[in-house]
Chain A
Amino acid sequence: MADLLTTPLNALHRELGAKMVPFAGYDMPVQYPAGVMKEHLQCRARAGLFDVSHMGQVIVRAPGGYAQAASEMEALVPVDLLGLGVMRQRYGFFTNDQGGILDDLMLANRGDHMFVVVNAACKRADIAHMRARLPGCEVEEITDRALVALQGPAAEAVLEALVPGVAAMRFMDVGIFGSDFGELWISRSGYTGEDGYEISVSETQAEALARALLANDDVEPIGLGARDSLRLEAGLCLYGHDIDETTTPVEASLIWGIQKVRRAGGARAGGFPGADRILDEMANGAARVRVGLRPEGRAPMREGTPLFEAAEGGAPVGQVTSGAYGPTIEAPMSMGYLPKPLATEGTVIYGEVRGKRLPVKVAKLPFTPANFKR
């Protein structure tokens, strides 16, 4: 493990008693002494602070400014970037020629350039992809900044006290703020289903910012364990599990991430890798789709659990891609892929756990309502 990378908050995690694990090549906190369950509930009730500095922060510039960067980037993602307002951000995904998903990411219009945040495990490939496929752009990886997320109903009041002005931001707004911790790049977004912010801060100021946030009684540190159960309750995909190169955005129920202008009949329809397949699936339906699953018993159905149409016999019709216990819903929850005819809310299928087929119901996503400030 000597070759694990560390984030600027590594020493703080250890001081706070975190249990550290390797994650995407980084030494990361999976939980603090409170434990996954309490951390999860803390974030839903008040606020949690997450270190997400392992994620990739990338600036894309072009001589023609944001419009050129957006225009070139639209060849890689099925997202309306030219129509994205100044200081606004959108969720998107890099697709491959087969219509699969190479990574999911956030893209922001920062006036004269684009700011992109990508998954840690994919960042090398994503940056290479952008450098190869955005010929008129300069793709700069930002390596001297940490990234933290402050999430939960108390996040607005907590951050506003340190960085006046952030309370006025709406969901998916981005802003650049001067502060006692240097220049902060803030977006009102997250990965928990709660209101909150993602804050990029200079690596030299990251620990001071984290300590200032944690000094508020409403804030506790949250590890990767609760990050996973929070995002699953919120119905959000984890790349490499719920979505990957073999799943299309239509199969993954992510059509909402493809704006009208990029769809069939739109002014800039298609023009991204795999558009033929993706637009065809949008018109005619995909053979399988990602759904929420609520086991009827208490046993969690974890990733890899095979799903069957009947209590006995037959071949698997799908499998669970994420599964855990949901501390807020006080019940197990999963996501997985099912053939379209079975992917209807209320349909009962069976997941095989330790050799036994247990009933599980197709359920609405998210499992917990989103609390975004729109």
Chain B
Amino acid sequence: MKFTEEHEWLRVEDDLVVVGITEHASEQLGDVVFVELPEVGTQVTKDDEVVVIESVKAASDILAPIDGEIVEVNEVLVDAPGKVNDDATGDGWFFKIKPSDLGQMDEYMDETAYQDYIS
């Protein structure tokens, strides 16, 4: 798994990249009450705002960590946004992206580096 400075995690599954936010981020946000997901088929460029999450405290944007096409979104979050808090790195994933260039993953942190980053 790779991690961004924006507290997203990226996991390669077959030829797709699954994206979510880290437990650390979900704790900082507080209880998530609303998630707005992108449409499947959307072409995104790195740093595009693709997801809006609202917690009990505030709204935040999730940025596309890499270029590619959104091929699947986690519809479960629409009715159960709390999954982001309950299982941030599992059932709380946001979307799957078909990467244009998997090499863009290289710049991101591994778990050890991320743990250092947040401590």
Distance in Å: Cβ of B78 to nearest Cβ of chain A: 7
Q: Of residues 41 to 89 in B, which have CB atoms within 8 Å of A's CB atoms?
A: 52, 54, 56-57, 59, 78, 81-82
CB of B34 within 8 A of chain A? yes
- Is the beta-carbon distance between A225 and B57 smaller than 8 angstroms? yes
In the bound complex, CA of A188 to CA of B78 (Å): 40
In the bound complex, CA of A135 to CA of B55 (Å): 49
CB of A214 within 8 A of chain B? no
CB of A325 within 8 A of chain B? yes
Neighbouring A residues of B59 by C-beta, 8 Å: 300, 302, 354
Task: Across the interface, name the chain A residue whose C-beta is closest to B31.
Answer: A37
In the bound complex, CA of A225 to CA of B78 (Å): 23
Neighbouring A residues of B97 by C-beta, 8 Å: none
Task: Across the interface, name the chain B residue whose C-beta is closest to A299.
Answer: B34
Q: Return the contact of B52 from the options A302, A327, A354 (Cβ within 8 A).
A: A354
Neighbouring A residues of B34 by C-beta, 8 Å: 298-300, 325, 332
CB of B23 within 8 A of chain A? no
Neighbouring A residues of B36 by C-beta, 8 Å: 299
CB of B38 within 8 A of chain A? no
Q: Of residues 1 to 45 in A, which have CB atoms within 8 Å of B's CB atoms?
A: 31, 35-37
- Is the beta-carbon distance between A229 and B52 smaller than 8 angstroms? no
* A37-B56 contact, Cβ under 8 Å, with A298-B34, A298-B78: yes
Neighbouring A residues of B56 by C-beta, 8 Å: 35-37, 225, 229, 324-325, 327
Distance in Å: Cβ of B72 to nearest Cβ of chain A: 21
Distance in Å: Cβ of B50 to nearest Cβ of chain A: 13
* A31-B30 contact, Cβ under 8 Å, with A298-B78, A299-B36, A302-B59: yes
Neighbouring B residues of A229 by C-beta, 8 Å: 56
In the bound complex, CA of A242 to CA of B29 (Å): 25
Task: Across the interface, name the chain A residue whose C-beta is closest to B33.
Answer: A325
Number of chain B residues whose Cβ lies closer than 8 Å to a Cβ of chain A: 13
Distance in Å: Cβ of A227 to nearest Cβ of chain B: 12
Q: Return the contact of B33 from the options A31, A225, A332, A354 (Cβ within 8 A).
A: A332
- Is the beta-carbon distance between B33 and A35 smaller than 8 angstroms? no
Neighbouring B residues of A37 by C-beta, 8 Å: 30-31, 33, 56, 82
Per-residue A-contact encoding for B88-107, CB less than 8 Å = 1, 0 else: 00000000000000000000
Task: Across the interface, name the chain B residue whose C-beta is closest to A225.
Answer: B56
Task: Across the interface, name the chain B residue whose C-beta is closest to A356.
Answer: B36
Q: Return the contact of A36 from the options B57, B81, B82 (Cβ within 8 A).
A: B57
- Is the beta-carbon distance between B54 and A325 smaller than 8 angstroms? yes
Neighbouring B residues of A325 by C-beta, 8 Å: 33-34, 54, 56
Task: Across the interface, name the chain A residue whose C-beta is closest to B78.
Answer: A298
Neighbouring B residues of A332 by C-beta, 8 Å: 33-34
Q: Of residues 110 to 125 in A, which have CB atoms within 8 Å of B's CB atoms?
A: none
- Is the beta-carbon distance between A300 and B54 smaller than 8 angstroms? yes
Q: Of residues 297 to 344 in A, which have CB atoms within 8 Å of B's CB atoms?
A: 298-300, 302, 324-325, 327, 332
Per-residue B-contact encoding for A139-181, CB less than 8 Å = 1, 0 else: 0000000000000000000000000000000000000000000
In the bound complex, CA of A302 to CA of B33 (Å): 13
Distance in Å: Cβ of B52 to nearest Cβ of chain A: 6
- Is the beta-carbon distance between A225 and B30 smaller than 8 angstroms? yes
Task: Across the interface, name the chain A residue whose C-beta is closest to B81.
Answer: A298
Task: Across the interface, name the chain B residue whose C-beta is closest to A330.
Answer: B33
Neighbouring A residues of B31 by C-beta, 8 Å: 35-37
- Is the beta-carbon distance between A298 and B33 smaller than 8 angstroms? yes
Distance in Å: Cβ of A68 to nearest Cβ of chain B: 46
* A300-B33 contact, Cβ under 8 Å, with A37-B56, A324-B56: yes
Distance in Å: Cβ of B34 to nearest Cβ of chain A: 5
User: What are 26 A-B residue pairs whose CB atoms fall within 8 Å in the complex?
Assistant: A31-B30, A35-B30, A35-B31, A35-B56, A36-B30, A36-B31, A37-B30, A37-B56, A37-B82, A225-B56, A225-B57, A298-B34, A298-B78, A298-B81, A299-B34, A299-B36, A299-B52, A300-B33, A300-B54, A300-B59, A324-B56, A325-B33, A325-B56, A332-B33, A354-B52, A354-B59
Which B residues lie at the A interface, using CB under 8 A? 30-31, 33-34, 36, 52, 54, 56-57, 59, 78, 81-82
Nearest 10 pairs between A and B by C-beta? A325-B33, A37-B31, A36-B56, A298-B34, A299-B34, A300-B54, A35-B31, A36-B30, A35-B30, A325-B56
Given contacts A35-B56, A225-B57, A298-B81, 16 further A-B contacts (CB under 8 A): A35-B30, A37-B30, A37-B31, A37-B33, A229-B56, A298-B33, A299-B52, A299-B54, A300-B59, A302-B59, A324-B56, A325-B33, A325-B34, A325-B54, A325-B56, A354-B52
